[in-house]
A and B are shown apart, each in its own frame.
Chain A
Amino acid sequence: ETGVTQSPTHLIKTRGQQVTLRCSSQSGHNTVSWYQQALGQGPQFIFQYYREEENGRGNFPPRFSGLQFPNYSSELNVNALELDDSALYLCASSARDRLEAFFGQGTRLTVV
């Protein structure tokens, strides 16, 4: 059974650019969530996908968008990057009937 994997692990982008982060869910999990963790903070919920549909969204602007694919892998897209978008982005997968979410190692995004 494979765990949650994210790519890339590190990324540096320039303000105003766009970025795509990727996540492969744990085997058997059909729900994926994305979180942003700024330095010294806990993870903040961005959005959740279930069966390829957005199923909940946190307090993030529309320039944060996502996709879930039929194999339950997922992408997080961020447009018009701002310096404050610099953070660790975490993907978590879970089974629909379970509340425990299992996290990937994260993608460290730095916006300069």
Chain B
Amino acid sequence: DQQVKQNSPSLSVQEGRISILNCDYTNSMFDYFLWYKKYPAEGPTFLISISSIKDKNEDGRFTVFLNKSAKHLSLHIVPSQPGDSAVYFCAASRTGYALNFGKGTSLLVTP
């Protein structure tokens, strides 16, 4: 069963605007959440993470928000740039255990 879900397979955003990628999870034992970006023919690249003791983590243009009661997290990219076009994977983990990935959201940032 899919414990991490990304319900939007694709998203298109204009350059300079905000991109919001969403992720839901079902396992309340997850305590660490990560976002990865993947370009074609490359492996996933770590982007940003957040632990369950926080509700927000920011790194430059990227901010991740965690709503534990809703079992929901989101990645905000502001401002979006064409180079951000990639597939974004949400992953969740319980400390000491493996990463559980969603199916990914393909982001296209248009000029």
Contact = CB atoms under 8 A, between A and B. Distances in A.
A42 B46 contact: no
Contacts of A102: 46
A100 B46 contact: yes
Given A43-B89, A90-B43, A99 B100 contact: no
Interface residues of B, number: 24
A56 B102 contact: no
A33 B98 contact: yes
Contacts of B49: 99-100
Given A40-B103, A99-B49, A100-B34, A56 B43 contact: no
B103 A101 contact: no
A6 B41 CA distance: 13
Given A99-B34, A99-B93, A105 B46 contact: no
A43 B36 CA distance: 11
Interface of A: 4, 6, 33, 35, 40-45, 48, 56, 58, 90, 92, 99-106
Given A45-B100, A90-B44, A106-B43, 9 more contacts: A33-B99, A42-B4, A42-B102, A43-B44, A45-B98, A58-B98, A90-B43, A100-B46, A103-B43
